[in-house]
A and B are shown apart, each in its own frame.
Chain A
Amino acid sequence: MKNQKRWGLFFFLSPVLLWLFLLIVLPHIDLLAMSFRIENDDGQMVWSLSNYLNFFEEPIYWLTFVRTAIFSILVTFLTFVIALPVAFYITKVVAPKFQGFLLVLLLLPFWVSELVRVYGWMILLRESGVINHFLIKLGLLNQPIEMLYKDATMILGLVYTSMLFMVVPITSVLDSLDNSLIEAAYDLGANMWTILFKIIIPHATPGIVSGSIVVFMLTLGNYLTPNLMGGKNSLWFTEQIYNQFIASFNWNQGSAFGFLLLVLSSIVVWLGLKLTRQNLRKVVQ
């Protein structure tokens, strides 16, 4: 009986497992194997670690990774700072009948592709763009300033793209926060900041952490926004992978970078979980 049940489960699960294996595991194994191979001077493919060593020996590569990681952490933090009040407003302040509407508003930008969203920002921010036009019209500026192609612009774009992925998990944890806890803290003499740090954030931590993981990973793996809005200084690690594959035809180096991105970002997430004393199981729930 029990055996039969297990076979039934296996039977229904097998398409999923097959799909996972063929489309996700297999290509990754291929890439992993590729990352350990290099072409020697005779044009022969041989096994080697040098694709990985290259990363650590060449400052451009690891500096780009560090830069990408730091910016991703910054973007994650800023997204959190903006998303928390938004989520709080949606769950606790606004009338319940408008909650769905506000969440849809948040979702709306995601109905167009990322490319369109980024071009939208570019139209707004460019030197001859809408914002400059109005600032000059209003007499606040004498001549247009370039707002694009700066790190700050890139961060703006990335935060904008990530907002939803932070607001939704925080909204769902704040939903379960009993209003009377906030009132009790207020009643016991806490001010706004203490309530925020002692009651709301500790309660929302699982949501914040899961939102942060998603935002961090998405930002780290983003290609379009840093490339288009960041302009000339914004070498993003994904761009380096792209360059290895496409421009330099060095697929082996590219796969090594890909796996380094996977491993290093996992380490950052693991450190984050350790620091906030959360475990993955709790956060994923």
Chain B
Amino acid sequence: MMKRFFVIAFIISAFLAVNISSALAAETLRLITWSGYTPKVLLDKFEKETGIKVMPTNSSNEEMIAKLRATRGAGFDLAQPSQDRISSVQEKYNLYQPIDLSKVKTDQIIPSMLEAVKKNTMVNGKPHAVPFCWGSSGLVINRKFARDAQDYTDILNKKYAGRISYRLKRPTLLALAFAMGDDPFAKYGDINAYRALMEKVGQAMIEGKALVKNYWTNGDALLQSMRTEEVYLAMAWDKGGWKLHAENPEIDFFAPKSGALGWIDTFAIPAKSENVEGAYKWINFILRPENAAVFTNLDTTANCSKGANKFVDPAISGNFERSFPPAAIENIKWYPPVPAKLEEIEGKILDKVKAAK
């Protein structure tokens, strides 16, 4: 008994030792990203090609900023923030280093996207990110129960009381502002006008609080509640809706009448990255059309690689065509860069909503 225990312990420790030493020996790339952005097949392929082992950490915009801010841009070699959350924190905390476009195979990237991201992340005359993928927030609806839901305002609609879920985060505030006929992005420059608008939206959310089942915080948990039909109507990302559509045709992602909120996730290199070369290698690798298509096929999120479409599964591209008729594409509201101070205003209002009875 004892002997067997020791043998097992020895094997395990030997195994760990080998693993750790190989991890130490190999070149690594510490990537802070979003869940789903690093498919295993691509990590393996990349390691085979370059010998670099990618170590992903799944996170969110806010946490990415907080972590990099705490270490002043150290601890990760490559990050994937959304394009609208780069310039203001860069100006304030200097988290990233400028991107050297000569090292990026820019011909692999859809030019309009590249231009937009370059412009939005321009700080001190230098771009700080290149695009990787894009998607939108809109409504995920179960048509069996919510036949008529059209717009964000329906998440405050009594008809769906107790069957509604959304995040208590800034996209919800912005979406409701649009649906109320306003344009929050136009007010980004005027803090007082923005605050007034947000307070109005916050008030509406407080009044509609009784109708919400819960404020979701975890994408998988939301999908579970929609799958079990506890929730009919949610504000969420397109890819979640598409995943559910594959399981239950009644559920789908819809671009709301007042426009889906479009985001672009990027690559940005933290200021104290210890493997800048590896970071560029990964950027060029995953934006290669056939690799980008692997990601899209697995995650259903659209990528920014030029020419990847021909490798994308028809079912996946079908998602996009179904949810976005040409008019809806035109109507996508792309997030402009967020000026400083707005998050604080939004944070306070979201707190108020959460605390309200």
Contacts and interface: CB of A to CB of B under 8 A. Distances in A.
A contacts B: CB pair < 8 Å: yes
Interface string A234-265: 01000110011111111100000000000000
Contacts of A251: 69
Nearest to A239: B354
SS class, residues of chain B in contact with chain A: helix
Interface string B70-109: 0000000000000000000100000000000000000000
A251 B92 CA distance: 13
Given A126-B230, A127-B228, A128-B230, A148 B351 contact: no
B214 A232 contact: yes
A156 interface: no
B215 A128 contact: no
A231 B62 contact: no
Nearest to B67: A246
Contacts of A250: 344, 347
A211 B302 CA distance: 53
B23 interface: no
Contacts of B348: 58, 60, 248
Interface in A74-128: 122, 126-128
SS class, residues of chain A in contact with chain B: helix
Interface string A30-54: 0000000000000000000000000
A160 to B, nearest CB: 19
B228 A249 contact: no
A233 B344 CA distance: 21
Contact of B162 (A64, A146, A240, A246): A146
A165 interface: no
Contacts of B251: none
A148 B214 contact: yes
A243 B217 contact: no
A243 B351 contact: yes
B347 A233 contact: no
A232 to B, nearest CB: 5
A232 B230 contact: no
Given A146-B162, A146-B213, A228-B217, A249 B343 contact: yes
A127 B346 CA distance: 31
Contacts of B229: 128
Contacts of B306: none
B66 interface: yes
Interface of B: 62-63, 65-66, 69, 89, 162, 169, 209, 212-215, 217, 221, 225, 228-230, 343-344, 346-348, 350-352, 354-355, 357
